[in-house]
Structure 1
Amino acid sequence: MDNTNAQVIDTVNQIQLATMAPQVVMTSGAGKAYQSVAQSTAIAVQDSADALRNLSTIATTAIGVAMAQLLATKDVKYVEVITAAQQVMTQANVEFGQVGATAANVIKGYPAG
């Protein structure tokens, strides 16, 4: 009985040494931190994609209405609306690219563990 208890205690001690060693704890903690940062950057990219999609819907609607008015009235002031909506989309695409590039740089610069 004493021999079995000694083996169990030795096994528990070996497991604790293997799992609670400072290097193991640091590596595990760094890996969890990396996953958290990766998830946060993914959410930022998703939010940016949602914003781009919403702006696209608004700009496309504005362009459609302005185009209909331009065709109906021949008033060139609607060309300015179309141009402004196109510029909004161009800028939104640039900003989406910047968010994606920044997220990628954050992940590349963060230690994985």
Structure 2
Amino acid sequence: MDPTKVNAQVIDVINQAQVATMGPQVVMTSGAGKAYQSVAQSTAIAVQDAADALRNISTIATTAVGVAMAQFIATGDPKYEKAIDKAQALMQGATTDFTAVGAAAATVLKSFRAG
């Protein structure tokens, strides 16, 4: 047997593998799938960032309410009630923002073709 010649079956297997992995439809579908995964990951990160922001604002608002409530109880000064209202409004705004980010992320992901 001549060692410089390649068995025809080996050549056929290589050709079939190339068609199966590098055909235009396979490449297009694979690329679309990778793009979808990238968009999905990006939207998930956006939602995680919004959740972190919500958590941080919640901590600030809760602390502010606690301090204002303690001062209101100690002094009876109505200005502390206003501070409590402001902190609650801050929390409501953060919740609205979180909801908007989540809805926008879902819309982006739903409108992106998966493959």
**Shorter-chain TM-score category?**
over 0.9
Which of 19, 22, 25 is residue 20 of structure 1 equivalent to? 22
Which of 48, 51, 54 is residue 49 of structure 1 equivalent to? 51
Equivalent residue runs for 1:1-113 within 5 Å: 5-113=7-115
**Alignment partners' CA distance in 2, 1:4 and 1:110:** 45
Seq. identity, % = 70
Q: TM-score, normalised by structure 1?
A: 0.96
Gaps of 5+ in 2: none
**Shift of the alpha carbon at 1:64?**
0.2
**Alignment partners' CA distance in 2, 1:36 and 1:109:** 14
Q: Kindly report structure 1 stretches of 4+ aligned residues shifted beyond 6 Å.
A: none
Q: TM-score, normalised by structure 2?
A: 0.95
More helix by share: 1
SS at match of 2:114: coil
